[in-house]
Amino acid sequence: MSSDFETHLEAIDPARKAMLRRLRQLVLDTANRTDGVGDIIECLKWGQPSFVTENPKSGSTIRIDAVGNTPDAVAMYFICTSGLVERFREQYLDAFDYEGNRALVFRAGDDLPEAELAHCIAMALTSKLKAGNR
């Protein structure tokens, strides 16, 4: 999806563009080092860069995008009915800014809590595996 991703970024300001590239790379790196994830398909869902597990369908879709009504914000979105954001909040109450039960919000230029975020990404990408296979 590299070309779709870059095309999507064209209309986004440089600071948020850089943060979205960092988030994308963290998702891909985490997927590569997490057992059971398998192949990641990059695509656009709801007009947003998305990461979908394939072969096996081990986890929940992750989307990233600029937050339209907040000029310096980007978000990592999760399916709101998955319960993932609630699990993240239980483990990392103060590590992230949360948007309800669907997103982690970041400010362009901020340091990312990479270890905590990578753990959340891994949880999402393996959320459909049986508990015994995690």
**pLDDT on residue 132:** 43
CA distance 126 to 121: 9
Q: pLDDT class for 79, splitting at 50, 70, 90?
A: very high
**Conformation bin of residue 60: beta by default, left when phi > 0, alpha when psi is -120 to 50:** beta
State the pTM of this model: 0.92
Could you tell me what percent of the chain has a pLDDT over 90? 84
pLDDT at 133 over 90: no
C-alpha dihedral over 21, 22, 23, 29, to 10 degrees? 110
> What are the tens digits of pLDDT across the range 14-59?
999 999 999 999 999 999 999 999 899 999 999 999 999 998 899 9
C-alpha distances out from residue 62 to 14, 89, 90, 132, 134, Å: 22, 17, 19, 23, 19
Which CATH code is given to the segment(s) 2-127? 3.90.1150.200
Enumerate the domain spans of the chain: 2-127
Tell me which residue of 64, 20, 19 sits closest to 44, measured CA to CA: 64
**pLDDT on residue 130:** 67
Mean pLDDT of the chain: 93
